[in-house]
Amino acid sequence: MEKLSLSAGSVHNMRRFLCYRPGGVLMFLCLLAILIFLRSNASPATLHLILKPSNPEPLIPAQVWQLYTTVGPRSTNTTHQNALKATKIAANLAATWFPVDGDWSYQFIGTEFGTQFVKEHFKDQQDIVDVYTSLRVPVMASDFLRYLLLAGDGGVYADSDVEMIKPLQDWVPVPYRNVTRAMIGIEKDHQAKDEPDGWSFRFVQHTLMTAKAHPIMINMVRNITDKMLELSHEKHTTISQLELHDRDVVRITGPRGFKDVVFEHLSREVGESIGWRNVTRITEPKLFGDTLIVPINFFAAGQQHSGSDGASPDKRVQHYWTGTWRHWDESMK
């Protein structure tokens, strides 16, 4: 039995191919009529036309985001030489992401596009737009925008100093691909006397992978907005005029604020309190509802702490820690 198999995606591609050429619409309709005629008149032994449904949408959209914002530095520690160096590194590392694999799309965006994206996607939440457009601290603007991009459209976000090592379609381990809507990596996981409980623990922010409107991203956006408005009210000034300290960055847009939101989501997913002790020193991915927490080597291999191994086969990316914001605030290492 000869069988002709034609997917819905193939029909869609055929329509695009024909309809954008002179006389293409007529050609498409004629071809479709011929196929229908063949299907209705073919004997079972000669021809079957099978219209297959398109593949379902992936849990995590096939979209890569990288950004380079131009919000001014808060001090003169960022030199033109350092900024130029970081820009060159970003351009070189972008080549590892673009062109990306298969059906993945890629966008490297600047401040103007970021502002436009926020205004379009959050037009019904003006307080979010106002806070984002008022921020004047580079690292906070960069942090906030990555959460906004993923909350609005989902996909993969990576800092401009991150190199892709493993193809994107291989990032989520096979057993978890049909359930994972967020994959979060561990960045720090070691003893530290000056940390609560004597342990330093944080999640990766330089590389993030989530579904559109995932609760972690939505809650980060809302928390940042509320905390910035609260701080502005307390100090009786506008957000753009706020004097912000390192501790503000850490607790609002940075690692502490992010860690709290992630653990809150994990706790809701499983119905019990989840903290760093539930994921410390893991060597295999650990699923909490729709969120996959992965070992340190997935997104933070090659560090000089936390048992990180630069040669690990688990490594998805390599982070080079060259963001321009680090030149104005070395305490944020």
CB 62 within 8 A of CB 104: yes
Q: What is the pLDDT of residue 304?
A: 85
Counted residue by residue, the chain has a size of 333
Under a CB-based contact definition with an 8 Å cutoff, are residues 118 and 145 in contact?
yes
Q: What angle do CA 152, 155, 146 make, to 5 degrees?
A: 60
Task: Give the model confidence (pLDDT) of 183-203 as tens digits.
Answer: 999 999 999 888 878 899 999
- CA 157 – CA 181 distance, rounded (Å): 14
Local confidence band at 2 (pLDDT 50, 70, 90 cut-offs): very low
Quick check: 64 and 107 in contact, CB under 8 A? yes
Q: Kindly tell me if the per-residue pLDDT of 54 is higher than 80.
A: no
Question: Is the pLDDT assigned to residue 50 strictly greater than 70?
Answer: no
pLDDT above 90 covers a percentage of the chain that reads 60
Residue 144 token pair: 């906030």
Structure tokens given for 257: 């604020």
What confidence category does residue 10 fall into, taking pLDDT thresholds of 50, 70 and 90? very low
Model pLDDT for residues 59-117, shown as the tens digit of each residue: 999 999 998 765 444 444 445 566 566 667 677 788 888 766 678 899 988 889 999 99
Q: CA 254 to CA 248: how far, in whole Å?
A: 8
d(CA 105, CA 154): 12
How would residue 40 be classed by pLDDT, with cut points 50, 70 and 90?
Answer: very low
Q: Tell me, yes or no, if the pTM score tops 0.85.
A: no
CA distance 244 to 231: 9
pLDDT of residue 32: 43
Q: How far apart are CA 69 and CA 303, in angstroms?
A: 26
- Work out the average pLDDT over 225-252: 96
Query: For residues 190 and 296, what is the distance between their CA atoms, to the nearest angstrom?
Result: 11
Per-residue three-class SS string for the chain: CCCEEEEHHHHHHHHHHHHCCCCHHHHHHHHHHHHHHHHHHCCCCCCCEEEECCCCCCCCCCEEEEEECCCCCCCCCCCHHHHHHHHHHHHHHHCCCCCCCCCCEEEEEEHHHHHHHHHHHCCCCHHHHHHHHHCCCHHHHHHHHHHHHHHHCCEEEECCCEEECCCHHHCCCHHHCCCCCEEEEEEEEEECCCCHHHEEEEECCCEEEECCCCHHHHHHHHHHHHHHHHHHHHCCCCHHHCCCCHHHHHHHCCHHHHHHHHHHHHHHHHCCCCCHHHCCCCCCCEEECCEEEECHHHHCCCCCCCCCCCCCCCCCEEECCCCHHHHCCHHHC
pLDDT at 83: 59
Q: Are 286 and 297 in contact (CB under 8 A)?
A: no
Look at residue 26 in the predicted model and tell me its pLDDT. 46
Q: What is the per-residue pLDDT for 37?
A: 42
Residue 55 is predicted with a pLDDT of 46
pLDDT at 165 (0 to 100): 95
* Burial zone of 115 (CB within 10 Å; 0-12 exposed, 13-18 middle, 19+ buried): middle
Query: Using one digit for the tens of pLDDT, what is the confidence trace for 112-168?
Result: 999 999 999 999 999 999 999 999 998 999 999 999 999 999 999 999 999 999 999
Whether 309 shows a pLDDT value over 60: the answer reads: yes
- Using the predicted structure, report yes or no on whether residue 1 has a pLDDT greater than 60: no
**Mean pLDDT computed over every residue of the chain:** 81
Per the CB < 8 A criterion, the answer to whether 72 and 136 are in contact is yes
In the block, residue with structure tokens 């000089």:
304
- What's the pLDDT score for residue 22? 47
Question: Residues 2-19: what's their mean pLDDT?
Answer: 40
Q: Give me the amino acid identity at 202.
A: R
* Top-confidence residue, 184 or 55: 184
Q: pLDDT per residue over 172-185, tens digit each?
A: 999 999 999 999 99
Residue 34 has pLDDT above 80, yes or no: no
Q: What is the pLDDT of residue 324?
A: 44
Cis peptide leading into residue 167 (ω within 30°): no
Q: What is the pLDDT of residue 200?
A: 94
Choose among 26, 51, 49: nearest CA to 38: 49
Alpha carbon distance 114, 117 (integer Å): 5
Q: Tell me the two tokens of residue 229.
A: 């408005």
pLDDT higher at 20 or 312: 312
